[in-house]
Amino acid sequence: MRKKLPALLIVFSLLTGTFLYAQQDSDQTENTGTQEFIDNSDEIIMDSITEELPEYVEEDLLPLEETSEPEEAGEQEQVAEEDTPAEEENTVPKKELTLPMPEENAQIDRFIKQYLDPKWTQVLYNALEGAIDYRLYIRKALADAGLPPELEYLPIVESNYKTNAKSKSGALGLWQFMANSVWPFLTLNDYVDERLDPWKETDAALKKLTENYNTFGDWLIAIAAYNCGAGAMTRAIAKLSKDDTKDFWTLCQKNLIPAQTQAYVPKLLAIADLCINCEHYGIDLPLHEEEYEVLYNEKNAVFDYITVDKAYSLATLAQTMRIDTQELKRLNPSFVLGFTHPSTKSQIRLPAGMQEIAQSALENMEPIDFPIKYTVVAGDSLWSISRRYGCTVSQICELNGIKENAILKIGKILYIPSK
């Protein structure tokens, strides 16, 4: 028996060691898999918010969090005491919003938590900083009209403050007007699309929001109706019983409005709260309060204007005025073909102090005259069309905003100058 004991101990040690090694390897693989899943999900979430128009997908609202617990709680607490400094109490008081905001709301809290993540805070910072050309104008327009100041942050929800943002459903611009909802607020035709003009679209959006408020008598419902439509909101309210409270939260609770609209208002409230109370939350966001106080140049829509009633090329006008062509086009993005409407009055927006120079330039310019609207057919080319109508290829290209080597599609409309 004494001779066999060492052999048995060796076998037992080998078996125990194998089991412990296998168990350790299994635990390590599980943690690694969890980390890979978290990292991959994080990438998916960050990709989703870099698109022009983020989708309201419930599971993508927040990044996933690490949920694994430490093996020994006692050791974790000891490390926390030694390495982690005690959190300082936030002494910055929190400002109340003008819009009614519930003290506790899961969706609002979720959006706040989302944007407090450093990566999402940076996304919010970039959107606000890049929108200074329009934010200050919106802020002043809201103050002048006596509207809730939180509406300054609605374009973040709508378009991330992108003036050329286009949704899958065809909504366009900073405030995302649909083509069928522009009247009577904006002009939309072959020559002009005022949804692309952030200043005009802002004026239109504030009029529409005011109209919604006058209809429903509640700002949160008015804002929600801007998203789902006044007709849809009217039908939703009609389904409430006499005992129901007529407010946005009841409509959500009873699931009477679309899921996107149910997330729309909480997201606005969360973003507005974070921006207005950024010091309270300990994050850096651009408020541009000093710039707003001094009200300088086009940052607050201090422009000059001239009115024309024929088609004038913006590029030719800029060259004649000796100013940057792209700057003049940036100030007049609604002229989608690069020239003003040929038969109705158009206002051309100018840098401040340039009205007399522009007027003098127009006196030395000939308006564009194009009596023909030509439809491309099979076999057409820019050269053949220009030969047919006695004009140059460059003239056709300038009028239609295309390159000289462009391939024409059958059915495309081309505007042809007379000479």
**Contact yes or no for 269/101 (Cβ under 8 A):** yes
Q: Residue 49 corresponds to which tokens in the numbers above?
A: 């918010």
Helices (H) and strands (E) in the chain, counts: 18, 4
- In one-letter notation, the amino acid at residue 128 is L
Query: Cα separations (Å) of 254 from 238, 259, 262, 269?
Result: 12, 11, 11, 20
Where is pLDDT greater, at 348 or 296? Answer: 348
Average pLDDT estimate for 92-102: 92
Q: Under 8 Å CB-to-CB from 297, ≥6 apart: which residues? A: 351, 352
pLDDT digits (tens, 9 = 90+) for 266-275: 999 999 999 9
Where is pLDDT greater, at 65 or 356? Answer: 356
| 394: pLDDT strictly greater than 60 | yes
Angle (nearest 5°) at CA 156 between 154 and 158: 70
pLDDT band for position 211 (cuts 50, 70, 90):
very high
| 366: pLDDT strictly greater than 70 | yes
At residue 11, the pLDDT reads 41
Q: Residue 116 corresponds to which tokens in the numbers above?
A: 């407090």
pTM exceeding the 0.75 threshold for the entire prediction: no
Q: Position of tokens 């076998």? A: 11
Where is pLDDT greater, at 374 or 86? Answer: 374
pLDDT band for position 231 (cuts 50, 70, 90):
very high
Angle (nearest 5°) at CA 182 between 176 and 185: 110
Residues 94 and 135: their CA atoms lie apart, in Å, by: 23
| 43: pLDDT strictly greater than 60 | no
At residue 145, the pLDDT reads 94
At residue 370, the pLDDT reads 67
pLDDT band for position 258 (cuts 50, 70, 90):
very high
Name the region of 165 (left: φ>0; alpha: ψ -120 to 50; beta: rest): beta
Average pLDDT estimate for 318-346: 92
Average pLDDT estimate for 22-30: 37
**Contact yes or no for 141/200 (Cβ under 8 A):** no
Residues 294 and 108: their CA atoms lie apart, in Å, by: 34
What is the average pLDDT value for the chain, to the nearest integer? 80
Where is pLDDT greater, at 3 or 372? Answer: 372
Query: E strand or H helix at 416, and its extent?
Result: strand 413-416
pLDDT band for position 279 (cuts 50, 70, 90):
very high
Average pLDDT estimate for 348-373: 89
Q: Report percent pLDDT > 90 for the chain.
A: 58
pLDDT digits (tens, 9 = 90+) for 139-193: 989 999 999 999 999 999 999 999 999 999 999 999 999 999 999 999 998 889 9
| 353: pLDDT strictly greater than 60 | yes
At residue 55, the pLDDT reads 38
Residues 392 and 386: their CA atoms lie apart, in Å, by: 5
At residue 91, the pLDDT reads 79
At residue 120, the pLDDT reads 96
At residue 415, the pLDDT reads 85
Query: Cα separations (Å) of 241 from 215, 238, 254, 261, 262?
Result: 19, 8, 11, 21, 19
Residues 302 and 328: their CA atoms lie apart, in Å, by: 14
User: Which of the residue ranges 362-366, 386-390, 394-398 would you say has the lowest mean pLDDT?
Assistant: 394-398
At residue 81, the pLDDT reads 42
| 406: pLDDT strictly greater than 90 | no
pLDDT band for position 402 (cuts 50, 70, 90):
confident
- Helix/strand/coil for 248: helix
At residue 134, the pLDDT reads 87
At residue 301, the pLDDT reads 65
